[in-house]
Structure 1
Amino acid sequence: MNKFCGDCATLLDVQEHQNYCFACNKGFKKLNSQQKVVQEKVYVHQTAAEFLHQEARPLIDEECPKCGHGRAYYTTQQMRSADEGQTVFFECVKCGYKYKTNT
């Protein structure tokens, strides 16, 4: 049975009288075979490329005029004078069709 450090979750070096963690420089008393692991640490690994490919644009329930799909990414921008409404740009999630509306 593998034994792991309770502080940093590093695999312990099994020695005769104790288990030793090289990362923390600590020795741990050996557990008898009756004891069980009651806590598990899970580390999520994500590469920079995976992180950058995640979609960060906001979504809205908007029907695409081309394919009829009900979800679209959107952005807003003030295209006209300040006393007029903004322009909302949409991009269909399914087909990528881009369209806009003035509000």
Structure 2
Amino acid sequence: MEFCPSCSNMLKFELPNMGHNSRLFCQTCPYVCYIEKGVKIKRKQRLVRKEIDPVISYDDMKNGPTTEVRCPNCSHDKAAYTEMQIRSADEPATIFYWCLNEKCRHQWRED
């Protein structure tokens, strides 16, 4: 949707007619903008995916409270945990677990 730079009304689209290109025109003033047939790409920009930092790191978790719960990955019997309210207030909190086995460090959650 484009607007007229002189009177700020919405421009109308007109299909090519009698050898003229497509155009956008204003119904209230004489403004006309012809539309070119081809699109020119001025430069290509490569998108780079940013690294995502965890909200809770493993170092924060291993110094926190622990509980005896079995890891689903390695069956280790101790895990660090934290509880967060990630949904609305009337929903139960989510518990995040981290396996304390140094070789595993598996993370899971209970909703």
- TM-score band w.r.t. shorter chain: 0.3 to 0.5
With the length of structure 2 as denominator, give the TM-score of the two structures. Answer: 0.42
With the length of structure 1 as denominator, give the TM-score of the two structures. Answer: 0.45
Larger Rg: 2
Of Structure 1 and Structure 2, the greater strand share is in 1
